[in-house]
Each structure stands twice: as C-alpha cells, then as structure tokens.
Amino acid sequence: MTEGTEGRIQKVFDEAWKEYAAHERTLDALAALSFILANVREIHDETLAHDFRPRITPHSSDAEPYTPDGLIWQKPSYSFLLELKASWNLTDVAQIIKYAKSPGYQKGNTSQPFADNHCVLLGYQNTPGDADLDKLFDEWQKESFPFPLVVFHYGLEVAAGGHRILFSRIAYARNGVCPASSLGKAMNAARGVTVSVERAKFERSRFHKANDQALPSYAAVLWWTTYANHYLTEEQKIEMAASGRLSTPLIIPPDRLNEVPDIGGVDVPLTSKDIRRALEFLSQTGLVILKKRKKQFEVKLKDDRHIRFPLGTLAAGFTNHQDTATKIIARWAAHKVKHPAPERRVAKRPRKAPGRRARDTRTLPLFPGSS
C-alpha cells in the first residue's frame, strides 16, 4: 500500500474520531447536568422535574413536535429549554427561533405552557465567533421574545485533581441572563459550573444518545459493545463467554430491526433507526454483512481482543488507543479509502437516429416546374 493511501486513511480516521469525541462530550455534558439536578442540594430542592427526551409543541404549520435536548422545571415558576451543539451551523438561528416560538411542551396528548420565568439555554463545545452570535441575537431581538436566550460553553476541563465538565456563560455583550433560580444563578456565575467526570460516571451510563439521532460511528460502537449481546440465544451467550466469538454469524432479519433491546437503566436509549444506521456503519468495516436482497444483516460477532486493525494503517500498532471504538473507526476509514462507494451514474438519454426531413410543401419552389 502506498504512503499516499496511508495518509488518506489517517486523515479520514482523524476526522471521524474528532466527530466521535465531540458527540461523546455532548453526552458527558448531559450526564453532568443530570448529576447537578440530582445531587447539588440547592438545585435539587428547587427542581420539580426534568426530561432529556422532551417533545415540545410545534409552532405554526409544523406537524411534528420539536425535540430539543432537555427541559427542566423548577419552583416556584421556572422552565429551561436546553439545546447542545458541538459547533456553529448556519441552521442554528432558524432552529432556536423555532424552539422559542413553541407555546409549550407536550405531556401525553395535551400541550402545557412553559413556566412564567422561561429561558432558552444554548450550549456550544466550540464557542461561536461574534459575527455568528450577532446573527443569532439579531433574529432573537426581531422577535421580541419575553424571555432570555443564554448561550454558554461546555467542555472538558483537564485538572491535576481529575477531569471535569465545565459549563460557563459566554461573555458576549448581548447574551441573556438566566432567571434567578439556583440553576440560573449557577449558569450566570462568572466562574461557571463544574462537575467531576468521576462523580458523573454513573449518570453517564444513562445516556446512549442525545434526543436527536445518534452519530452513526457512536451508535455502531455502542451497538457492538452493549446492544449485540441482547440478540443472542442462551447457547450463543455461552459460546461468546467461552471463546470470545461466535462460530456462526448472528443473523438479524428485517422484522427484528425494529425491536430495540431493553438495556435497563437508560434514560435516552438508541432507537430502531439508530440501530439500523449502526449496522450499516459496521457493514463498512467488514464486521457485518448487509444482504440487500434479503434485507438482513449478518454479524461476525467477536470480542474486542479479536478485532484487528487493518494492515498498513497508521493506527495499527498503537498501544495507547487499543479500544473497540478506535479499532472499528480505523477499519471503517480503511474501507472508505480502499473501497469508495461507486459514484451514481446518471443514465444518458439515447440519441435519436437522424431521420429524413419531411418535405416542405408550403414553400413555393425556386424553379417553377421542378419537383
């Protein structure tokens, strides 16, 4: 394999791994917020309820409920709508304005209004620049919403005493200020709020995704390490425990793809769509075969120690990242470079064979009497 191919594989791997890590950091933030609501006494005592899979009432002609990342209710009359993002996207303005126009949240078949002191919390791992924030707050001010929009940064803070998840309000002149509940005061504080990664570890296991679709690579690793075991028969579980792999592939027919295993203790699990996308991602690693005619997946299930890096990739031989996620994403990157998906060919319209021109009987002949 040429050095150029190795370089392309490494570049694809690096981009995918960066996206994977950003998705994981978002789930870390949700877990940290869940920990705060449950364990910080002043905030816990004021919290009436919270939902990390909320459905809020659509505005205007939109048919489907909106699905932000969280909704928190606090007494006496506070509500916080939460949305987390890795970095700025051009669609963010329209999305946040849409969320802000929602008249309330859906509880069962009914819609209930937000609290009197409402707030929209918008978090970013990579803080947007002032030009992007200007676009956001220009639109926000045009709408004259009677409640604030508060943009904050969240991310991993590396410290000698242990890593922490940090939440801090962005120091932007037009940024809003949270309502004065204990949670709002903590978010407004100049030093921000931090949660130890170690202390939030239990809450982290409850989040397999955010409220939107899971990242395909993340869903693939999670399916392989957590969900796959729930598809096995008792005999297959014994075989996996004994040898670390199945002697025959695990076949997942179409009718089982909509069955999401009940993992237990998970607040936000994968959905059937996430599982299908996970298996499609795994099919690009050689660990799964997608049989399109039968519309089923054939899984070559094995333990992490039996998964090998593709020969010749720069990830092969590294000892500090020998985990399932790295191996699966490295295999996917190698497949993507070595076996790129064929470009869709646009069928050309067949050219018509030149035919004889019809005789023009409407024009007078140049030489009378000639045929």
Q: How far is CA 283 from CA 172, 182, 216, 296, in A?
A: 45, 48, 12, 11
| pLDDT of amino acid 3 | 60
Per-residue pLDDT at 360: 46
pLDDT digit string, tens, across residues 124-156: 999 999 999 999 999 999 999 999 999 999 999
- Residue 184, judged by CB atoms within 10 A of its CB (0-12, 13-18, 19+), counts as buried
Contact 79, 104 (CB under 8 A): no
- Domains, the chain, ranges and CATH? 25-204 (3.40.1350), 216-338 (no CATH)
Dihedral of CA 232/234/239/240: which sign?
A: positive
Residues of the chain with pLDDT under 70: 1-3, 311-322, 343-371
Where does residue 191 fall: left (phi above 0), alpha (psi -120 to 50 degrees), or beta otherwise? alpha
Distance in angstroms (rounded) separating the CA atoms of residues 314 and 13? 10
* pLDDT (tens digit per residue) in 295-336: 899 999 998 888 887 766 655 544 444 589 999 999 999 999
Q: Tell me what pLDDT residue 60 has.
A: 76
Give, for 167, the enclosing helix (H) or strand (E).
strand 164-169
Q: What's the pLDDT at 285?
A: 94
What is the arrangement of strands in the sheet containing 70-74, beginning at the earlier edge strand?
A: 47-51, 70-74, 78-85, 117-124, 149-157, 164-169, 193-196
Cα separations in angstroms, 269 against 52, 55, 261, 274, 342: 11, 16, 9, 9, 33
